[in-house]
Structure formats: structure tokens, C-alpha cells
Amino acid sequence: MNYMETVTIPRKLAQKGNLVVIPQKDYEELLRIHKKHKEFYEGLDRDLDRAINSYKKGKVVGPFSSVAELKRSLQR
């Protein structure tokens, strides 16, 4: 005999928009991926902030149009 599970969704929750039901394992995987990406982009933001500050302070050298030009710059 097959039984159907019944879930009651509170009216306040249902009024907030569409609801999605997924297995807990899938939800945890989504959280793990989100955390990984969030950490990556936060690190990228920090690196970008440092690069912009270096540029504003005049600590940036380049761009170089050739390897020889780069080598000359490093020898100074």
C-alpha cells in the first residue's frame, strides 16, 4: 500500500513567494558551494582593493609592451 506524505505550510510562509523542497544533502551541497564562492570573491575583493591602493600611491609599474622593456624596468 502506498502512502502519501502530507505537509502543511503556514500561511505566512506561503505568502512570501515560491517554495522549493529539496533533499537535505542537496541543500548542504549548495551551502558548501556558496561558501566556497563567497570566500573566493571576498579574497578577490581584498586583492583588488590592495591593487587599487597601490595604483593610487604610484607603486605600480607597467604595462610593458615587450619583455625587454620589463627587464629594463626590473634592473632599475
Q: What is the pLDDT of residue 27?
A: 93
Q: What is the pLDDT of residue 24?
A: 92
Q: Which residues of the chain have pLDDT under 50?
A: none
Place of cell 505537509: 7
Q: What is the pLDDT of residue 51?
A: 87
Grid coordinates of 7? 505537509
Q: What is the pLDDT of residues 44-60, one digit of tens each?
A: 899 999 988 988 888 87
Burial class (CB in 10 A: 0-12, 13-18, 19+), 70: middle
